[in-house]
Amino acid sequence: MEEYSLTLGAHLLLWVFPLVLVVLVIVEDLLDRFKSGSER
Protein backbone atom coordinates (compact mmCIF):
# COMPACT_ATOMS: atom_id res chain seq x y z
CA MET A 1 0.00 0.00 0.00
CA GLU A 2 1.28 3.45 -0.92
CA GLU A 3 2.29 5.64 2.04
CA TYR A 4 1.15 9.24 2.20
CA SER A 5 2.53 12.14 4.20
CA LEU A 6 2.07 15.89 4.52
CA THR A 7 4.30 18.14 2.41
CA LEU A 8 6.53 20.70 4.15
CA GLY A 9 4.09 23.53 3.33
CA ALA A 10 1.20 21.50 4.74
CA HIS A 11 3.16 20.90 7.99
CA LEU A 12 3.74 24.64 8.28
CA LEU A 13 0.12 25.47 7.56
CA LEU A 14 -1.50 22.75 9.66
CA TRP A 15 0.42 22.86 12.94
CA VAL A 16 3.68 24.88 12.89
CA PHE A 17 1.96 28.24 12.29
CA PRO A 18 -0.69 27.92 15.06
CA LEU A 19 1.89 26.53 17.49
CA VAL A 20 4.33 29.39 16.91
CA LEU A 21 1.47 31.89 17.16
CA VAL A 22 0.25 30.49 20.49
CA VAL A 23 3.80 30.52 21.91
CA LEU A 24 4.31 34.15 20.83
CA VAL A 25 0.97 35.19 22.36
CA ILE A 26 1.88 33.54 25.67
CA VAL A 27 5.37 35.08 25.69
CA GLU A 28 3.94 38.54 24.94
CA ASP A 29 1.41 38.17 27.76
CA LEU A 30 4.08 37.04 30.23
CA LEU A 31 6.28 40.00 29.25
CA ASP A 32 3.32 42.35 29.77
CA ARG A 33 2.61 40.89 33.22
CA PHE A 34 6.29 41.08 34.13
CA LYS A 35 6.46 44.71 32.97
CA SER A 36 3.29 45.80 34.78
CA GLY A 37 4.46 43.89 37.90
CA SER A 38 7.80 45.70 37.97
CA GLU A 39 6.07 49.08 37.47
CA ARG A 40 3.99 48.61 40.64
Partner 1 sequence: MTPVDGSTLSTVAVVMVAYLGVLLFIGWRAAKRTHGGEDFHLAGRSLGAWSAGISSTASSESGWVTLGAVGMTFNYGVSGLWYAPGCLLGYLVNVYILAPRLRPLSANQGSVTLTDVITRRWGDPRNVLRLTATTIILVCMMGYVAAQMTAAGKAFSSSLGFEGRSGYILGVVIGAVVIILVTSLGGFRAVAWTDLFQGLLVAIALIALPLYAIAHLGGFGALIENLGAIDPNFLSAGGGRIGPALWGFIIGQLGIGLGYPGMPHVITRYMAARDDRQVQRLQVIAMFWGVAVFYGAGLIGLAGRVMLPNLADGEQALMAIALQLVHPVLAGLLLAAVISAILSTVSSQLLVAASAVSYDVVEETLGKASDDRRSLILGRWTVAVVGLLGILVALSEVRLVFWFVLFAWSGLGAAFAPLILLALMRRGVNRHGALAAMLTGTGVTVAWKLGRDAATSPEIFARVWWMALLAAVAIFVIGRLTRAFDWGDHVAVAAAASLTVISWWLVQLWGLDNLYELVPAFFLAGFAALAVSAVTKDDKPASE
Residues that bind partner 1 (CB under 8 A): 2-7, 9-10, 12-14, 17-18, 21-22, 25-26, 28-29, 32
- Closest approach, Cβ 15 to partner 1, in A, equals 8
Question: Is residue 14 a contact partner of residue 6, using CB atoms and an 8 Å limit?
Answer: yes
Is the CA virtual torsion 18, 24, 25, 30 positive or negative? positive
Which residue lies nearer to partner 1 by CB, 3 or 38?
3
Which residue lies nearer to partner 1 by CB, 5 or 38?
5
Dihedral pair phi/psi, residue 27, rounded to 5°: -60, -45
